Chains A and B, each alone.
Chain A
Amino acid sequence: MPRTGDSMRGLAVFIADIRNCKSREQEKKRINKELANIRSKFKGDKQLDGYQKKKYVCKLLFIFLLGNDVDFGHMEAVDLLASNKYTEKQIGYLFISVMMHHSNDLYKLVIQAIKNDLSSKDPVHICLALTCIANIGTPEMAEEIGDEVPKILTSPDTLHGVKKCAALCLLRLFELKSDKFIHAELSSRLIALLSDQHLGVVTSACSLIQALVTANTVEYKGCVSLAVSRLSRIVSSTDLKDYMYYFIAAPWLSVKLLRLLQSYGQPTDSAVYERLKESLETILNRATDPPKSKKIQHTNAKNAVLFEAINLIIHYDSDAALMVRSCNLLGGFLNSKETNLRYLALESLTKLAVSDFSRKAVMKHQETVVQALKNERDLSVRQRAVDLLYAMCDRDQAEEIVGELLAYLEKADYSIREELVLKIAILAEKFAQDYKWYVDVVLNLIRIAGDYIADEVWYRVTQIVINRDDIQAYAAKTVFEALQAPTCHENMVKVGAYILGEFGNLIAGDERSGPIVQFKLLHSMFHLCSNQTKYILLSTYIKLINLFPEIKGDIEEVLGNDNQLRNSDAEIQQRAMEYTKLSQIASSDLLATVLEEMPQFTERESSLLAKLKKKSNTLVKERDDGDNTSLQNVELSSAPVDVGGSSLLDLESPSGTAEIPEPALESGTPQDSPVLNNYSAPPAAVAAAPPAPAAEPSLLDMFGGAPPATDPTKVQVVTGLIECNEAAQPNFKAFICSRNNGILFENEIIQIGVKSEFTGFEGKLQVFYGNKSPLPLQGFNTTLFISPKDQPSLRLEGQKVTLLISAGAQIPQTIKATAVAAFGETPLLQISFSAAGTAHTMVLRLPLLVNKFCKGTGMGAQDFFMRWKNLNLPAQECQKVFKASRPMDNDLVKGKVQGFGFQVLEGVDPKPDNLVGAGIIVCEGSQVGCLLRLEPSKPAQMYRMTVRSSREGVPELLVNLLSQDL
């Protein structure tokens, strides 16, 4: 027995010495002395025998365990591998697997030693080698020894002790070089291991197969039925001899098998599933049996199997009865004395709460879970309770659950507060029936846990207030009251400043919250705040000037104060300076335009969810599929819609700065802080300038910048009507048929050209702006307009252009168009800039016409007439008789029709002058066939054009377009 052997007295003495050391220094000294001793022994001339080497290597292991670097002894350990004594080999392998990294030069020798041992006749040597590979396998080993291991594993002569090691060894090699071990022959033999007589072999094989299954699910599908039958045999047996663990039959193997089954869906073979279901039911039944032993190990093992069975039931998510039973069992555990059980029960219930089958059953335990939140002593259990409440919350329970979570937040551990805040904010937003309640909840959050409010949380509340007219007054009132509290968190100041700046007027009627009161209240916080908040406050002040001209004097005094104008922070200086000037110079109308109310926010994914996902665990992931409901869908019907991606809300970076590339301002301030365009303050504060002032070029001049488009790289696409002077584009007709490239517009200042390409339902336009004047064009900005009628049919996305075009320069702009359906109007491009102090605005039609997406198609006469006749509804046809605007030359007309997009069909119409064509308009997700007949009457200089199409409205569109150019 180890204790009695005095085999390595030197080691024992050394350890005793170390233990007797009184101080860290003494210990260090003793260790260094020993290291020096061992080193000299290793280097010495005297040949050390195996025993000595073993002893020294053991000492090194001990020294290493104490946290000291050991940088020698590897060679001696490798020597021990080659020894023919088991104990020496054993310690050699131990040293290598604990201390050696495979970058070591000696690794080749190790591999050689392993090879030798694998081919040994002695099973204990083979096991040592296999264990070593399993522990520290390397790709080289997989390469050199990889073929041996499967042979050992599947050979009928191998002892089961060796097989176990071989299975885990193969698992390691497979992880290192998976392609080497995937072939059908091997897989069937490996699956067969699940039926091995020896349960230890099955346990290891189960781990191996689990890994293989993830890489090759189909090939290992056969393991399901074997696993089910193995499980069934274990569950139904009462005596597995040595594999009974405190009266439970092979709990680990059962757990492994149940895990393995979770790699697949429910078995399709009903016999297999019935058998599995029987086992699962037995496991559930046993949970309520009286325990066969009072020992904790007994219940532990029993429950380990039970939890895994429940996991499998959840994984299948198909059997309502089993799921509800699981819920009830787990609910029982919530009151267990065992903390472990409560923890695991909460965790499993969280998974069950997501399923429709068991949702209701989980809800029954809400009361208990809330109690757990209040009384549980273990933080990690409380956290699971929070997760569960978050998962089971629905519209009906939201107020109660959020209330409980808020109460918990007050005493929650600091480490989990931020996550808790996010969860509460998400629930409140998602299930809000009354948005006043939502506002209250978030303000409460800020009050209780101001320090743990992620910026996203307060951005979100301001966005929602902006998007919902009905709560703006309430929000203003509530936040005003909150600000009156004796202590008030800075985040509250931010929200307050923002909301009062936008909606302070809604509560100004009451003299207790009159204009000057609001301003004084906000300004009383100013000196306590960080610079970030001061920026927001300054913006709020200028907004207040707009809302309440009567307090202009008071505010100007603050803005013009040296504390601001000569502040050490450049941003504060600049804001104060520019706002002062704005207030002094601008007329009240202009001010009202600049500081117009914020437009509504659009949104794709809630930034809160994104944040929570980043922050935390899997539990959240299971919830978020359904999360794009409610507020996110508060759709924003009117007003500008920003295209192509990140709205203000998708702020990943903490500063949230939208980087709009633009030149420095006249004031010569650094590029990164031009006021009104590019706030380095949180994005919600960008509000000061409304995004629709294209009609105010003079204003733009004043600030030398463009209105802030919400996405820095995209131009604004506006759905709306705008007047277009068609006379400005006399040559536009040329774009209808044939031309894709050409000059769109030209005057003495600017030349605008276009190049376009169309493939399928997508089009790419390149617009070139050339500055013909000797001066730079400043404040250059473009906006795209789509007629409201066409809004769903056409999608546009335009790249932003630079703000400045220097004299003689030309800049390109790419616009991508997607035809969703046939659209009627040409999209318009509004261009504004100032040249030599004069503002110019022009609106141009883009040569983006529905026929550009039309592709000619050929067919025979019979086919044509059959189709023509089938399209006999009145709405499917449009006919127009019109006067020719050009010479009626047959070839010319044919060219036009072809350029328009139809294929001219020869020999269909008996009259040679008549022209027949067919085409398909390709849209995203649909194709619209169109047929054309054009009958010229040369004497009358008239055409009769008839277009039929399967889609209503399309014939008119085409007739109107084509007739313009004939």
Chain B
Amino acid sequence: MIKAALIFNNHGKPRLTKFFTYYTEEMQQQIIRETFLLLSKREDSVCNFLEGGTLIGGSDFRLVYRHYATLYFVFCVDSSESELGILDLIQVFVETLDRCFENVCELDLIFHMDKVHYILQEIVMGGMVVETNQTEILTHIEAQQRIEKQEAGMGGAPARALSAAKSMAPNVNLPKLADLQNISLPSFKKL
């Protein structure tokens, strides 16, 4: 069983955390830190699995990971999983992300955390591999996106109205949008 799937960057900042066994929030953060400490010391030439840290269950568990550019993808698994199999699964996950985001980079994961979760969900469910066939995974994701577009078409009016309004107001500096919290949206709705 896969106990957890973690993605964090070279500085240990989490980009995705998904635990398939319940841990308290506090514990989750500790596990992430511990895992990062274990992995960040390792050179790239060493092997891709190691015994899990004490927090997640010690030597009965293995951390299987891959390091891509700025990101670590780590799966914590128990002894029922094949290490090489999980390594390939990480590869499938990353390739799928790459297809969905067209050359995925850390920023994509940051800004589309929900999407990353949905993609993972197509591959791992309840700690078990659910699908490994990339074509099938992509079909599912695309289907989801179609639904999303449809729904945005129906209910996305306010959002689009807002963005339209923003583009009509040239003196509004977009990055400072957070300061504009007091704009009263209902007046736009009437448009």
Contacts and interface: CB of A to CB of B under 8 A. Distances in A.
Interface string A6-26: 111111111111010000000
B143 interface: yes
Interface in B71-105: 80, 82-85, 87-89, 91-92, 100-102
Contacts of A101: 22, 24
A150 to B, nearest CB: 16
B85 A304 contact: yes
B155 A50 contact: yes
Interface in A298-336: 300-301, 303-304, 307-308
Interface in B19-40: 20, 22, 24-25, 29, 32
A297 B88 contact: yes
Nearest to A258: B82
Interface string B136-179: 10001001110110011001101100110000000000110110
Contacts of A50: 155
Given A86-B151, A343-B49, A1 B145 contact: yes
Nearest to A208: B128
B180 to A, nearest CB: 10
Given A98-B18, A303-B84, A380 B51 contact: yes
Contact of A207 (B121, B128, B145, B151): B128
A383 B114 CA distance: 40
B113 A62 contact: yes
Contact of B130 (A16, A164, A301, A380): A164
Contact of B114 (A10, A94, A303): A94
Contacts of B14: 65-67
A308 B82 contact: yes
A191 interface: no
A616 interface: yes
A300 B145 CA distance: 32
Contacts of A897: none
Interface string A390-418: 00000000000000000000000000000
Interface string A354-386: 000000000000000000000001111100000
Interface stretch (A166-174, A492-500, A579-587, A701-709): A166-174
Given A14-B178, A168-B128, A304-B82, A9 B163 contact: yes
A736 interface: no
Interface string A21-63: 0000000000000000100000000000111000000100110
B133 A124 contact: no
Nearest to A378: B46
A600 interface: no
A548 interface: no
Contact of B59 (A6, A255, A616): A616
B131 A259 contact: no
Nearest to B13: A66
A200 B51 CA distance: 29
A390 to B, nearest CB: 16
B144 A300 contact: no
A119 interface: no
Nearest to A70: B25
B84 A15 contact: no
Nearest to A62: B113
A90 B48 CA distance: 33
B147 A124 contact: yes
Given A7-B156, A344-B84, A242 B47 contact: no
A380 B47 contact: yes
Given A101-B22, A301-B88, A2 B47 contact: no
Contacts of A339: 45-48
Interface string B114-136: 11011001000110111111111
A87 B151 contact: yes
Nearest to B87: A300
B189 to A, nearest CB: 10
B128 A204 contact: yes
Contacts of B140: 161
A915 interface: no
Given A65-B16, A65-B17, A300 B84 contact: yes
A85 B47 CA distance: 45
Nearest to A37: B181
A253 B131 CA distance: 10
B112 interface: yes
Interface string A129-140: 001011111000
A300 B88 contact: yes
A245 interface: yes
A49 B155 contact: yes
B55 interface: no
A297 B132 contact: no
Interface in A150-183: 161, 164-165, 168-169, 171-172
B156 A301 contact: no
A199 interface: yes
A307 B84 contact: yes
A102 B21 CA distance: 12
A165 B114 contact: no
B155 A51 contact: yes
Nearest to B174: A13
A428 to B, nearest CB: 25
A311 to B, nearest CB: 9
Contact of A307 (B32, B50, B82, B115): B82
Nearest to B148: A87
Contacts of B85: 251-252, 255, 304, 308
A171 to B, nearest CB: 7
B128 to A, nearest CB: 4
A165 B178 contact: no
B159 A13 contact: no
18 contacts: A2-B101, A3-B112, A17-B178, A49-B155, A49-B158, A51-B155, A51-B158, A51-B159, A65-B16, A67-B29, A94-B114, A94-B117, A135-B20, A168-B128, A171-B128, A200-B133, A255-B85, A304-B85
Given A87-B152, A380-B49, 17 more contacts: A15-B110, A37-B181, A51-B159, A66-B14, A86-B148, A88-B151, A90-B118, A98-B117, A164-B131, A169-B125, A200-B132, A242-B135, A245-B132, A297-B88, A301-B88, A339-B46, A381-B46
Interface of A: 1-3, 5-17, 19, 37, 49-51, 58, 61-62, 64-67, 69, 85-88, 90-91, 94, 98, 101-102, 124, 131, 133-137, 161, 164-165, 168-169, 171-172, 199-200, 203-204, 207, 210, 242-243, 245, 250-253, 255-256, 259, 297, 300-301, 303-304, 307-308, 339-340, 342-344, 377-381, 616-617
Q: Which 10 A-B pairs have the closest CB atoms?
A: A134-B126, A304-B84, A339-B47, A378-B46, A207-B128, A343-B47, A304-B85, A242-B133, A242-B135, A86-B147
